[in-house]
Every structure is written in structure tokens, then in C-alpha cells.
Amino acid sequence: RPAQLRGSGANQTTEQVRLFGSALRWSADVPADVVAEAQGAAAVAAWRAQLSRGVVAATGAASGDPGPVQLNCCFDLPLVPDAEDAAPGALEQDWAPGGRVGGRPWIHVERSAGPVAVELTLGLRTVLVAGADAGPPARLLAERAGWPLIAEPTSGARTGRSALRSGSLLLGHEPLSAEIQRVVVAGRPTLSRPVTQLLGRPDVEVVAMPTGVRWVDPGHQVSRVLPNAATVALTGGEPGNEEWCNRWMRADEQVSKAVDEVLAATAATLPAGVLLGAAVARAVSEAVPPAGLLVVGSSQPIRDLDLVAAPYPVGERRLVVGNRGLAGIDGTISTAVGMALGRPSARSLALLGDLTFLHDLSALLLGPSEPRPDLTLVVSNDDGGSIFATLEQGEPLHHHAFERVFATPTGVDLAGLCSSTGTRHHLVRGADELRTLLATPTVGIRVLEVAVDRAGRRDLHAAVARETARTLAQ
């Protein structure tokens, strides 16, 4: 609404200016008369310059710090285009008036010349932790240096010969973790407490390798920050000394095997048709083909995936993404729909819990003119949130309040909800059926609902920790 209505009590006049506070990289407020009269070369140039500035800020092209921007355009009545602009096809024909010759960008931001070169010494017993968005540079560095790579599923680096499957379990137990002298942390890890603890160890040198200009330092021990896209020269030792890495690889293999045995033994105790979340995550992870997409929900699905996902081969362009941090369970179906529409993937899958699914159910309501993605949503339905069972909230002391306050079960009929939104729904009755369904391509959105055990989460978590400790002590 126009600025003169701000503070007047007129309907729908939210104060938008600076609404997002310090979260923004850039914002601008464009008054209604400027919006209405944006014609002629000077006005178009002003618009283009303004918009370009917003895009440059949002993409971090100049700052290296991409993020949200806000362009607040005030509109006044009648809130519809002039007759000329409203004619069918008018927008398509004249969508970009007054641009640069040859369709060149309005502003081209020159990047600083070439990547910066930095040195890292070999010789220190180092691990590379790759969090969200770390990408291939993390893997390449770990491989060159001979360092074990503890890469979260959404890191884009859980590939290749240095990547571990059970890295965070190994970090949480001696003896290997106690020997670490340095950690290089790439991207933004969010998944496991052992990683957070490692990043806070005063006896460990912590080197940050951020993807932009913001580095993570939850333990306040970072002593060195490498510039984005730096080329790293490894000095002071023999690159390719694989002994340190090999010890981690051997331990990883043994612990992964022990974890699989715990999972198999626990799965055998479940009623027919009920699976472990980890079994669902494994089936989904294995079903992502080369060039496939997997969107993973908080909080247990991403951790289940971390527990069981074997590193993928290098160069096959799988993309695993998740909304981490404050976004939490918000908008996960929307994210999957957007990613499935926006990225040309061989197949698009999403793995999410029942609360995450319910929280964004309205994302299934696509209008008749909207593009519809080919997308399989696998819902691990354990009737409530399960992460809290593995944390302090799950201790017997809080038992009386746990279900109502933390688990928040709904008992909702997902098949009925899907039916009411016109979404295909299958209730999957076992791991084999899940694999078969996952192997069949789909047209449009479909939901594969799998009943998953929640009651045994805490015990399973403890059993995995126990078996990890026992295996590593041998």
C-alpha cells in the first residue's frame, strides 16, 4: 500500500520497511508514484540500477556474502495494470524495455582476479568436516591430503575414497577422535554433537573453509579462515600419506557393520509392516539415481540418512539438500516441489517425517495452471517427532509430559489427507515394497507412507553408541 497510509489504521498496511531487520543484505523502498510512473529511459534506468543492486547483493557477487534482500514496492489503487499493459501477451512482448544493447546485463560486477593461494601444512593429524554446501572442494582437499572426510549428507562432499559413512560416530568415541590435532571445517555442519564438540576442543587447531565470507565457529576455537575458493598448497610433509586416513577407513567399516547389525536385530523385533527410520532412509538413499535429487527433512530423517548413507561415487551429480537451522520443518514440501521443478533431475525424491509433512500440507494444493513436478514424497510416519526421544527431553524423568509436549502425535489419516488434495498415496508395508515403488518413476506428486517405529528410538540410539564404543575398543 502507498506510504501515506502507513500508520493510518487503513486495512492491510503492514509496515514493511526494515521488517526483516539485520537478516537482510540490502533493502529499498520504492514509493507508489515511482512505481506508477516508471516509464521513459531515465525511469527504466533507475529501475534497472535499483534491481541490479538488489540482485548483486542477493547473490553476493560483490560481497561474497549472498543472502536475502527486500525490495518493497508501494502500490496504490487501482492495483491492476493500464489497459495497454493488461492486454494478453503484453508482458511477454515488452518485458524488458530499455536494456543494454545485445541483451547484456545492466551491471556486470567484476570479480577480483584469480583464486587466492594459501598453505596448509601436512603432518598434523587432521580430519575434514564437511557441512551443508561444502561441495567438491572439501572432498578434493581431503583426498589430496590423505585426511578422513566426515561429510554430512547435504554437504555435496559425501563422495569418493576419503568419505566415511559413520564419521560422526567415530568422532564421538575414542581412540581415534582423541588423536585429532586439527580439523578443517568446510561449509556449515549442523547435525551431530560430536562435530560441535570437536569444533570446541582447545587442543585442536580449527581451520574454517567457508563457502562465502561467513565461517562457522560454534566452539569459538577457529584460529584461521581460508578465503572462499582458495587454492590450498599442502606443505611440510608427504602428501598421500594414507596411514592416518586408512585407520579411519578401517574403523568406519567396522563400526558401520556393527551399526547394521544393531539395526537388523532391532528391525527383527518390530511388528510386520513397521520399519526403522534408518531402513527407510537407506532405501531412499539407494534409490537416488545419478543426477537425482533428494530433499531431506528435519530432524530424524536427515540423521537417519547420516547413519546409513554410503558415500556416492564421484561425479554422478546427485544433489542432497535439506532446510537446516531455524527453517527446521517449515516449508519442506514446498522446497521439494521447487527443487523438483527448478533442477533438471533424473528423479526427484524427498524424505520427511509426518509432522514435517503435515506442517506444509498446503504445498500439495497446486492450482490447475501451475506446473506440477514429478516428485516422490516418502513420509516416515512415526506419529510425532522422534528427535527429542534421543535427547535430554527423552529421559525417563520427563516421561509424563513427553508425548504431549515433545512428541506431539496427531494420529492423522495421511491417506485421507492425500485423497482430499488429489495426491496419490501408497501405504508401504515393508522394505521390499518400498524399494520396488522407489524404483518406479512417477508422474506428478505421489506420497509413499511408511509406518516407522518411534517407541524404540531412545534405546536404538543408545545401542548404536554402545556398539560403536565396543567395536572401537577391540
Ligand X SMILES: Cc1ncc(C[n+]2csc(CCOP(=O)(O)OP(=O)(O)O)c2C)c(N)n1
Residue 153: CB minimum distance to ligand X, A: 15
Candidates 413, 191, 457; CA nearest to 298 is: 191
Shortest spacing between CB 388 and ligand X, in angstroms = 8
> Applying CB under 6 A, which residues contact ligand X?
297-301, 328-330, 353-356, 380, 382, 385-387
Closer to ligand X by Cβ: residue 228 or 300:
300
Name the nearest CA neighbour of 115 among 208, 8, 232, 3. 232
Shortest Cβ distance from residue 389 to ligand X (Å)?
A: 9
Pairing of strands 231-235, 26-30: unpaired
The nearer residue to ligand X, 143 or 382, going by C-beta atoms, is 382
State which residue, 330 or 403, has the beta carbon closest to ligand X: 330
Q: How far is the CB of 451 from ligand X (least distance, A)?
A: 12
Query: Which C-beta is closer to ligand X: that of 57 or that of 296?
Result: 296
Q: How far is the CB of 137 from ligand X (least distance, A)?
A: 29
Minimum Å gap between C-beta 376 and ligand X is: 17
**CB 247 to ligand X: min, Å:** 33
| Partner residues linked to 295 by β-bridges | 321, 350
The span from the CA of 454 to the CA of 264, in Å, is: 16
- To ligand X, the closest distance from the beta carbon of 176 in angstroms equals 29
Residue 157 or 263 with smaller CB distance to ligand X: 263
In whole angstroms, give the CA distance from residue 336 to residue 366.
Answer: 13
Give min distance, CB of 322 to ligand X, in A. 11
| Closest separation in Å from C-beta 152 to ligand X | 16
Fill in the amino acid letter for 210. Answer: P
Of 397, 304, 321, residue with least CA distance to 156: 321
Pick the closer one to ligand X by CB: 245 or 350: 350
Positive/negative CA dihedral, 355, 168, 202, 186:
negative
Instruction: Give me the half-sphere count of Cα atoms (radius 13 Å) on the Cβ side of residue 424.
Output: 11
Whose grid coordinates read 535430554? 392
Q: Which is nearer to ligand X, 172 or 277 (CB)?
A: 277
Decide whether 147 or 357 has the Cβ nearer to ligand X.
357
Residue pair 280/454 in contact by the 8 Å Cβ criterion: no
Which one, 177 or 298, has the nearer CB to ligand X? Answer: 298
- Identify residue 145 by its one-letter amino acid code: A
Q: Between 227 and 328, whose beta carbon lies closer to ligand X?
A: 328
